[in-house]
Amino acid sequence: VGHMNVSLEDLMNSTIEKLFENLTSKIELGGSWRPKNCISRHKLAIIIPFRDRENHLNVLLSLLHNMLPRQLLDYRIYVVEQIGNDTFNKAQLMNAGFLEASKQNDFHCYIFHDVDLLPKDDRNLYTCSNQPKHLSVAIDEMKYKLNYLYLVGGVLNIRKEHFLALNGYSNLYWGWGAEDDDMACRMFFSGLRITRPPITIARYKTIKHIKRKPSGLYKR
């Protein structure tokens, strides 16, 4: 449908029943879908690192499960949750998600997806691509501008063989920040190129939340 009119207020005030209306009969148990009249070129796993943001999660899941079938993708969504109250480690969650998902199916590519980024345009294709593809190019919080060229945080699409060659994310980044820049360095030194869809299409709305304090520079 192109640009999607995402009303954050409506979505956040919705009930779970409303958010998942029409989806329960369509989406398979375990959060997967694939087209019935054709075979998708690729199999895709979406990995969402998660803790304690259930309302964000419900809104994102509802949007993705509405949008991705329109793109005729063969996909499954994995939510990877960190238990307890220890320091969050997003990178470890994403690595764990990759490993667990790859046990279940031979996915061609993986999309690592922040729980609070809502796609605004369904022409932003979640299909696998040859080079790593950074999908969250323009987000409202950043005035719809790309902050820096090697940014790969937010929503990132990467092929399985590339993720393996890069040895995934570093497990060493505790607390907020820098695991994504570390990943960009890995890509750079491996000769991979970060690609992006057009900025007019790769647009996201962010769900507001209390910002976490960045870890100290030296800790990072």
Shortest reach from residue 106's CB to ligand UDP, in Å: 25
Does 205 contact ligand UDP by CB under 6 A? no
- Complete DSSP assignment for 24-89: TTTSBTTTEE--SSS--S-EEEEEEEESS-HHHHHHHHHHHHHHGGGGT-EEEEEEEE--SSSPP-
Does 116 contact ligand UDP by CB under 6 A? yes
Shortest reach from residue 220's CB to ligand UDP, in Å: 13
Does 220 contact ligand UDP by CB under 6 A? no
Tokens of 204: 């996201």
Residues in contact with Mn ion by the rule CB under 5 A = 116
Single out the residue of 205, 211, 147, 209 nearest to residue 180, CA to CA: 147
Does 123 contact ligand UDP by CB under 6 A? no
Say if residue 22 is exposed, middle or buried (CB neighbours under 10 Å; 0-12, 13-18, 19+).
exposed
Shortest reach from residue 146's CB to ligand UDP, in Å: 15
Residue nearest to ligand UDP according to CB distances in the complex: 114
Rg (CA), the chain: 17
Shortest reach from residue 72's CB to ligand UDP, in Å: 26
β-bridge mates for residue 20, sequence order: none
Rounded to whole angstroms, the Cα distance separating 191 from 109 reads 18
Nearer to ligand UDP, 22 or 147 (CB): 147
Per CB under 6 A, contacts with ligand UDP among 37-76 are: 48-53
**Which of residues 68, 77, 96, 115 is near ligand UDP by CB under 6 A?**
115
Nearer to Mn ion, 69 or 175 (CB): 175
Q: Which residues, in sequence order, are CB contacts of 51 under 8 Å at separation 6+?
A: 81, 82, 88
Shortest reach from residue 209's CB to Mn ion, in Å: 6
Per CB under 6 A, contacts with ligand UDP among 163-202 are: none
Which phi and psi (to 5°) does residue 182 adopt? -60, -45
Residue nearest to Mn ion according to CB distances in the complex: 116
51 contact choice in Mn ion, ligand UDP, none (CB below 5 to 8 Å, kind-dependent): ligand UDP
List interacting residues with ligand UDP (CB under 6 A): 48-53, 88, 90, 114-116, 212
